Structure 1
Amino acid sequence: MHRQTRTLHSGWTLTCLGGPGVRPGLPEAIAATVPGTVHTDLLAASLIPDPYLDLNEITVDWVGRCDWRYETAFDWQDDGAEQVELVFAGLDTFAAISLNGVEIGRTANMNRTYRFAIRDHLRSGDNHLVVTFESAWKRGEVLDKQYEPRPNNYPGPANLMRKMACNFGWDWGPTLVTSGLWQGVTLESWSGARLARIRPEITLDGADGVVRLNAELAGDAQGLSLRVSVAGVTETLPVSGAVATLDLRVKSPQLWWPHHLGSQPLYSLDVELLSGDTVIDRWSRDIGFRSIRLDTTADEHGSAFTLIVNDAPVYVCGANWIPDDCFLPRVTPERYAGRVTQAKDANINLLRVWGGGIYETEAFYEECNRQGMLVWQDFLFACAAYPEEGDLPVEIEAEARDNIVRLMPHPSLVLWNGNNENIWGWFDWGWQDVLEGRSWGQGYYLELLPRLVAELDPTRPYWAGSPYSGSMGIHPNDPAHGCTHLWDVWNDIGYEHYADSVPRFCSEFGWQAPPTWATLTQSVHDNPLTPTSPGVWHHQKATIGNDKLLRGLQGHLPVPQTMDDWHFATQLNQARAIAFGIAHMRSHRLRNMGAIVWQLNDCWPVTSWAAVDGYGRKKPLWFALRNVFATHFLTIQPRDGGLSVIAVNDRTLFWRGPVTVKRLRFDGTVLAEWTHWRLCADRLSAAELPIPAEVATPGDVRNELLVVTMHDSTAIHYFADDIDLDLPAPQADFALERSGTDRWTLSVTARSLLKDVCVFVDRLHPDAGVDDMLVTILPGQSHIFTIDGASDLDRAALTSAPVFRTANDLVRGG
């Protein structure tokens, strides 16, 4: 009998079983969606306000403190199958499952799949299935008494359980403690045997691709065989036990590459379990052939940290990824596709799935496979000490085994990482005094997880933490070794201090700004709206975050006096800060081989470090990333007491051509000019060209700039910060034309220097977007902006503040 699978997603109801602060007058039961969460069911029934709006997060806090019961009925008729199993792909988190009045299991981990044998508990006709969830807050109180104190950077018991840590709040996220059947529920029937676990180890041997297929079987597999096919190659193997291993060699397959280096051919890997000629179970995934290794060789600067794909060293232009919504089932495959596309369009080539979130659903990794987006996957530990006693080690091992095996077929996945900031915390955050010798997770990161990766997925590198130097004998955040986090810049000092060091690899650094105006006003309804009005303040989760926003402007931009200027200045400063840091790091390519900005996305509308806000709109930072992560990137950097042009080439062909350097007054007058007739940057490298002092030295630092061009790449350098520049009053001529039903072109011709032009069309039409921002236009030059999503546009509103903005406005007081 072929294994039969049936989803159990209909007919569910939800009942509140009570808890602290429960809302009076709740209906006895409401309709429930599976997959789903309690919060989204209550929202659909209009029983709670939207927690993303205003101060509603506080209003709905009671939801996470209650126990909840899901129940449904389903019809079952005996089809003669020897085994019937109830499979839960994701239960959040502490659940008791009963079928027809009999408890069949309990769960305590939202990050793994659970499978229960239920044939003996089924009856012909109607069957009653109940899943009861205990509040994670309530279970946390029990665990808190069980474990002695363990440091945690954030309130809540996330480090004592296996639940998404940021559920309990983060410095960019709300405290919305969920429960529910967040992934699918299926009924599986089978006889004899089934495929239990498939592990394809995919490697290259010279020009050939090799698949070592490891299959674990459940049931009695005697007399069965395994047939495996990929890329036109098929092999069959008789099964003699519970584990079978089969090697397939594919002659000269096309290689899978990150998107900036090549194409992403995918091949279907098909596994069939046969009884004679009859297929009784099957498994299929799309795979890609590529090699991956992590180079940590010692050198004159310390030790490298370089990802090497298909023997090519890759400079990582990355972004950290957090859960894209607090209510996980709302992140559809289409939403994943849109967000990964936004990353790719910003020239990002790697997403780091951060350890305070989840192992994402298959749709995320499949999209990364298709789009050539590399994935760095954290194991789920973040910013806290984790006990190594009690039930946690068993849960953590089961969770890791589940997810290593589930994710290893994906060619996009290139690195397993043990934790986020926990080793750093043990070194620097006072943990050792608090712990007094108690466990904190070291055994997970240095023993358990590397052992499991070596056993289950030996083709991929494992790294113990981010940050981590590679040795407990070297400080984990030493920039000369391993991967580094740079958070002192945002927290304590100005962004110019990104240039103080050259990390071998920077896996976290970031700068805050509010969301787009449309997102801010869609989610906050304060009147008046100010940086410190209640709703805006509530949607700023970082400690003294607004103070840091203003402090970060010091020395760069004037203190804004209006809400409009505050919004623009802080967004502009975010883009400037991150672009400055990345340009510095990329200019030291080879010594530095990666910059992963914190962060790509948000899970709700909030002032944060994200480039794409919680409603999916692009902040100016997104446009800055697109520029500074370009595969052909030109930058002007201080070198040896002068200035040099650095041409960074992350393509597979050399980049060469004439370089022209001009020193101009702000009115466009050319004061000095020099052309170097051929600068050549070899493939996957950077080339440096010193600028002659007579060109690089200004006569008036307040009124001059350098412009460097090489082919279609341009770099601009100012000799002082904006606050010390004599930027002119912005003057321009505009031409607005409709180019489609909802598309427009805005031509801007500068009559004065226009620095960092932004067109915030979302202020006029919330769903509209523009194709470019942060554009500097020299006097006499023009730039065309394309606007999409606006059925009509008011030319006067479009071409004046607060929609049309330049840095000139801020310096000159609006």
Structure 2
Amino acid sequence: MKKNRGQSGIICLLLLLCGTVQARDQYELNTGWQCANIAAVKDKGETISNPAHTLTGWQPATVPGTVLTTLLNNKQVPDPFYGMNNEKIPDIYHTGNDHYTYWFVKDFTEQRPQNGRQVWLHFRGVNYGCDIYLNGQRVNKATHYGMFLRQTYNISNLLAKDGRNRLAVIIYPAATPGNPNGGQGGDGTIAKSVAHQYTAGWDWIQPIRDRNTGIWDKVTIERTGAVNLKNPHIITRVPGVRLPEGPQAPATVQVSAELENASGKSITGTLKYLLDGHTVSKKVTLPPHAVTEVQLPDYRLQQPRLWWPAGYGPQNLYPLQLQFTDAANALSDQETVQVGVREVQTPWNEFTRSRQVLVNGQKIFIKGGNWIISDAMLRFSKERYDAEVRFHRDMNLNLIRIWGGALTERPEFYEACDKYGLLVFQDFWFSGDCNGRWVDPMKKEDQWTRRQYPDDHGLVLRSIRDQVKMIRNYPSLAFWCGGNEITPPEDIIIPIKDSILPALDGTRYFFDYSNSDSMSYNFLGGNGDGPYGIQDLETFWAHRTFPFNSEIGSVGVGDYASLERFIPKENRIAPQYPGEVDSVWKYHKYIGYDGHIAPYGKAKDAKDFANKAQLVNYDQYRGLMEGFSAHMWEWYTGVIIWKTQNPWTAMRGQMYDYYLDPNACLYGLHNGSEPLHIMYNPVDGMVMAVNNTFTARRSMMMEVGLYDMEGRYKQLTQVFADIGPTTAKKYLSVKKAVDEARKEQGVFLRLRLLNTDKQVITENFYWLPDASGNYSGLQQMAPAKVQATAKRITKDSITVTLRNPANGPVAFFNRVAVVDAQTKQRVLPAFYSDNYISVMPGEERTVTVSYTPAGNNSTAIELYGWNVKEEYITVQ
């Protein structure tokens, strides 16, 4: 949990951030660090940490950060995310660990506390080992090990009397960084440590050369009284079946916390919290030099404002202020937690033979995305987390799975998930690839040996206890999982299931591993994942896969603006099928679009290829989610896409690139995943609707019509339609009429649902190939003469309106982007209400763009489409 500085309880309440915990007095040590390689430092930690000692030849360091981040920021290595630059950086496996073993030093001002007050030093993440010194004295008695284990030290008596302090930390890489031999996790030995595995390389990333050695997460100083309040635990019980609106039955709030008495005498005081204007308290006596867990009385919250997943209701959050005061009513410490009142249940669906998710008693069809990590070099920020999770909300997803080869995400990630309504499925740090599920000739050791990774099982269990405490209060956190495609070793998984989670967090379901039978019964054979790569769209509709699929995915090349950011000009060469792929594309893990570009016409160059790839991207992800939604509760209770983002400049499985620029995958999902959605089954021509809300929709008008390549419209049918809550419904087949219309040149199919005021509720637009499977009509379309305007609504939002005159063709597949008016470079991140849109003749479409302005730079709108010329539009 995170604590931030505040001046009083009132100010703490005003400064609340979703999902965070705050204390009265805390600050981060995030600037002014210096570092030096161990080879250049002859002195010991006691000497280095003496404030009077002169540091000669040291350089600025990035903290939080890694050694490689510091070297990059000091221009000592090239950007490993660009081109083949990563090959120019020495790998730790070949250099030896000393090459990336560094001292980090920070001078700071903090007075030695008086009158029994305490000062604490917190490290939220170090990779992999460290020794810590302060003002000439060692802080940790034994070397710390483990990437996923927070550290806290009472430094009250180590602070300098004059308030001038020096902190010195030596960071050791993991003992076995692994051979980056091209295997998943290299030779697998990276998994001998309790750390993330992807840094030795995977099929979506090249190796991170220092394996992310460093002080990779926040370092903070906290001031408290004699009693430090820590690791609060909030549980909410929401019985019955609820709705987002209307009167609510009470919910129960259960609160506990750990109280550490740092003094040499017993202390009597009161632990209390304030929630929704009500106070709950308990008087306690704390023994000296001990940590006591205190359970407060249950509180019955009247008319609770509930927290819901995205698309189902609001994400209400309550500030809960927790305090400890002594017998004289003096405040010793306080923290504030943002509480989401919700309850998640996971019954077994006997019909689908898979786990089903209920939130507040209501069944939720899971539309999820697999998440690797925000940045492969651990350059995390609250702003980047917020943007990435917002993209997932904008895709109309409701769950993110944290893949086990990475890490327990940072608290700021869960804050964003709380804010945007994304449930979280959290793996622990194991993978079938490194931990021995399969025979693998790329691995150094056999399966029996790898099955027992990591080497220190006690460290794993300590780390799990700590990380559970760190993130258990977030309402978005819904599930724990033992690992990716494999369970942890038996002496780890049994304590997790039988003691750790029941004691520390007994409210969340634990999956043994990500594709276990307890999640989704595998009656089809295979390993339970996939398929991966481009599929014929009919596959998603007609071929049944696993009833709660944890990984199924496709491609994700960005548009040309994305490729320009990391592929040198000379390497921007369109892939040919069949044929060779450029070496830089290969290095960045390109997977082929194979023959799926050819139906649109052979790519003339890389830009043409990237533009045509967006048509495939959109169709693939819209079709994926439509096919699964069409069979919800019949075949499926959920699906999780592999994967939705990349923490590196990879060219696969991403809805937006590393630089946070979305591609058409995002908007295909945005369309196919919308809560109320009308859709077309390409197998039998059935028009269907899916309603992923709790409200029945009645007396809607369903319109089905065709546009030819000249823009002429033909209505196929117009009928009234209704649909119940959380269900999919078939209406009628238009296959015969559609097949007849498309056989020569292909055709556009438009589906709409209108309300009783004749307003469009939802719309879907398909481009269908000719009888041979080619888009011959698209290749011959006449230009559309779109009239585009852009109007500023607020300082950070713009509306873009596209008008397509009557008596012309459809203005097909238009990309809108906000750019710097002078440089024409895209402003990133930016969020679009929709994109890659088509405008019918005689109609208009409006897109809302929101973004964070950069200084006084003026902006313009970039527009281009399939048959719409590229232009830049002045914002009015």
TM-score, length basis structure 2: 0.78
* Corresponding residue number in structure 1 for 2:46: none
Structure 2 counterpart of 1:455: 503
| Cα distance between partner residues in 2 of 1:443 and 1:647 | 48
1:62-461 to 2 correspondence within 5 Å?
62=91, 65-74=99-108, 77-80=111-114, 81=116, 85-99=120-134, 100=136, 102=138, 104=140, 105-118=142-155, 124-125=161-162, 126-136=164-174, 138-140=175-177, 154-155=186-187, 157-176=189-208, 177-188=211-222, 192-205=226-239, 207-219=249-261, 222-240=267-285, 242-246=292-296, 247-276=298-327, 277-299=329-351, 301=352, 303-328=353-378, 330-382=379-431, 383-385=433-435, 387-388=451-452, 391-422=455-486, 441=489, 443-445=491-493, 448-449=496-497, 451-461=499-509
Match of 2:76 among 34, 47, 63: 47
Contact kept in structure 1, 2:346 and 2:357, CA below 8 Å? yes
Aligned residue type for 1:730: M
Q: Could you say if the C-alpha distance between residues 558 and 419 of structure 1 is closer, same or farther in structure 2, counting changes exceeding 3 Å? A: farther
- In the TM superposition, residue 688 of structure 1 has moved relative to its aligned partner by 1.1
Q: Is 1:515 matched with 2:558? A: yes
- 8 Å Cα contact 2:192/2:454 also seen in 1: no
Q: Equivalent of 1:682, from 720, 724, 735? A: 724
Task: Look up the match of 1:759.
Answer: 815
1:297-339 Cα offsets, whole Å, 9 max, x none, are 322x4x13221111111122222222222232x3321222222
Give CA-to-partner distance per residue, 1:422-478, whole Å, 9 cap, x none: 25xxxxxxxxxxxxxxxx63554465256422221112222222212218xxx9754
Describe the shift of the 1:416–1:755 C-alpha distance in structure 2 as closer, same or farther (beyond 3 A): farther
Q: Post-superposition shift, 1:286?
A: 0.7
Query: What amino acid sits opposite 2:231 in the alignment?
Result: R
Give the residue type in structure 1 aligned to 2:584: H
Q: Report if the CA contact (8 A) 2:691-2:725 is conserved.
A: yes
SS of the residue corresponding to residue 262 of structure 1 reads coil
Q: How does 1:656-735 map to 2 (within 5 A)?
A: 656=698, 657-662=700-705, 665-667=708-710, 673-676=716-719, 678-691=720-733, 695=737, 698=740, 701-703=743-745, 705=747, 706-711=749-754, 712=760, 713-716=762-765, 718=768, 720=770, 723-728=773-778, 729-731=780-782, 732-735=784-787
Aligned pair 1:775/2:837, yes or no? Answer: yes
Pairwise CA distance, 1:291? 1.3
Q: Which range moved further: 309-318 or 750-759? A: 750-759
Structure 1 contact 193–221 (Cα < 8 Å) conserved: no
Aligned to 2:568: 525
Partner of 1:56 in structure 2? 85
After TM superposition, give the deviation of residue 577 of structure 1 in Å.
1.6
Structure 1 runs not aligned, ≥5 long: 20-25, 424-439, 805-814
Report the counterpart of residue 13 of structure 1 in structure 2: 34
Deviations for 1:51-98, whole angstroms, at most 9, x for unmatched residues?
Answer: 222222122235785211112344565434476543211112222223
Assess, with a 3 A threshold, how the Cα gap between structure 1 residues 200 and 72 changes in structure 2: closer, same or farther: same
CA deviation vs aligned residue, 1:629-683 (integer Å, no higher than 9, x gap): 11111111267xx43211111122212312233356544556673333x321111
Cα distance in 1 for residues equivalent to 2:57 and 2:522: 53
Shift, 1:34, TM fit: 2.4
CA distance in 2, matches of 1:107, 1:350: 34
SS in 1 for 2:268: coil
Partner of 2:439: none
Q: Which amino acid aligns with 2:153?
A: F
What pairs with 1:489-508 in structure 2 (closer than 5 Å)? 489-490=533-534, 494=536, 496-499=538-541, 500-508=543-551
SS of 1:130's partner is: strand
CA shift, 1:518, in A, is 2.0
Which amino acid is the alignment partner of residue 138 of structure 2?
V
Structure 1's 390 and 373: CA in aligned 2 closer, same or farther, altered over 3 A? closer
Deviations 1:331-388 (A, max 9, x none): 3212222222222222222222222222222222122222222222222223421654
| Number of aligned positions between the proteins | 758
Helix, strand or coil at the partner of 1:181: coil
CA contact (8 A) 1:85 1:187 kept: yes
* Residue aligned with 2:570, SS: coil
Partner Cα separation in structure 2 for residue 390 and residue 647 of structure 1: 48
Deviates more, 1:313-322 or 1:758-767: 758-767
- Please state how far the C-alpha of 1:7 moved relative to its aligned partner: 4.2
Query: C-alpha separation between the residues in 1 aligned to 2:765 and 2:106?
Result: 64
> Any conservation in 2 of the 1:531–1:537 contact (CA below 8 Å)?
no
Give distance in 1, aligned partners of 2:846 and 2:275.
Answer: 48
Choose 760-769 or 651-660, whichever is displaced more. 760-769
CA distance 1:233–1:792, shift in 2 (3 Å):
closer
Instruction: Tell me the CA shift for residue 798 of structure 1.
Output: 7.9
Corresponding residue to 1:646 among 683, 688, 700: 688
Change in Cα spacing, 1:224 to 1:567, as seen in structure 2 (3 Å) is same
Q: Equivalents in 2 of 1:696, 1:37: separation in Å?
A: 57
Q: Please report how far the alpha carbon of residue 409 of structure 1 lies from its aligned counterpart in structure 2 after TM superposition.
A: 1.3
Secondary structure in 2 matching 1:174: coil
The one-character-per-residue Cα deviations of 1:238-278 (angstroms, maximum 9, x if unpaired) are: 22562221122212211111231222221122221221112
The one-letter code sitting in structure 1 at the alignment partner of 2:203 is: D
* Aligned residue type for 2:105: E
Match of 1:485 in 2: 529
Q: Which amino acid aligns with 1:313?
A: K
Gap change, CA 1:747 and 1:480, over 3 Å in 2: farther
1:549 aligns with 2:593: yes
Give the AA of the match of 1:245.
Answer: Q
SS of 1:518's equivalent in the other structure is helix
The SS at the match of 1:710 is: strand
Q: Provide the rounded CA distance (Å) in 2 between the counterparts of 1:174 and 1:316.
A: 31
What CA distance in whole angstroms lies between the structure 2 residues aligned with 1:781 and 1:446? 62
- Closer/same/farther in 2, CA of residues 799 and 260 from structure 1, 3 Å limit: closer
Alpha-carbon distance in 1 for matches of 2:559, 2:673 = 22
Shift of 1:793: 7.1
> Is the Cα–Cα contact under 8 Å of residues 790 and 861 in structure 2 kept in the other structure?
no
For residue 559 of structure 2, what is the amino acid of its counterpart?
T
Secondary structure in structure 2 of the residue aligned to 1:527: helix
Taking a change above 3 Å as real, the CA distance of residues 611 and 540 of structure 1, as seen in their structure-2 partners, is farther
Relative to 1, partners in 2 of residues 1:652 and 1:415: Cα closer, same or farther, differing over 3 Å? same
Distance 1:611 1:660, change over 3 A: same
Structure 1 position 593 matched with structure 2 position 637: yes
Deviation of the 1:216 alpha carbon: 2.5
Amino acid at match of 1:452: I
Give me the whole-angstrom Cα distance separating, in 1, the residues matched to 2:596 and 2:734. Answer: 33
Which of 572, 584, 594 matches 1:538?
A: 584
SS of match in other structure, 2:681:
strand
Q: Provide the C-alpha distance between the structure 2 equivalents of 1:56 and 1:719, rounded to a whole number of angstroms.
A: 41
User: Shift of residue 562 of structure 1?
Assistant: 2.3
Equivalent residues of 2:100, 2:173 under 8 A apart: yes
Looking at secondary structure, tell me which structure has more helix per residue.
1
From 66, 91, 94, the counterpart of 1:37: 66
Name the CA shift for 1:791/1:479 in 2 (closer, same or farther; >3 Å). farther
SS class of match (2:501)? helix
Shift of 1:178: 1.7
SS of residue in 2 equivalent to 1:170: coil
Residue aligned with 2:669, SS = helix
Equivalent position of 1:627 in the other structure: 671
> Per-residue deviation at 1:626?
1.0
